[in-house]
Amino acid sequence: MEPWTINRWLDREVQGILGPHVETREEAQRLVDAYLLPPEGTRGWGLGRGTTFNDVVYLARAHASNLDYGRWANTQMLVTAQDEEGIR
């Protein structure tokens, strides 16, 4: 699953994702990195509903910073790797 595919779904407020056919630790880490916002992951965010259309007034009122929002949003997410043959 490519990071841009994950981003498209997350921008629509999906809060969980299943990564199919994850076979290595590196693939699992790439899945998590693409799924989580900084500081835990590398995912960016756009102007979608899932980020309140990047409403900086709302974000400033509800969260101390963008990183604070990222930390909070990451606690609301579920990422699952589907292992078919055992992680190598």
Top-confidence residue, 19 or 65: 19
Task: Let me know if residue 87 belongs to a domain.
Answer: no
Give the number of residues written for the chain: 88
This prediction has a pTM of: 0.70
DSSP assignments along 36-73, one per residue? SPTTTS-----SSGGGGGG-HHHHHHH-SSHHHHHHHH
Task: Tell me the sheet residues that pair with 78.
Answer: 16
Residue 68: domain span: 3-81
Q: How confident is the model at residue 60 (pLDDT cuts 50, 70, 90)?
A: confident
Confidence class for position 54, pLDDT limits 50, 70, 90: low
| Domain count across the chain | 1
Residue 7 lies in a domain: yes
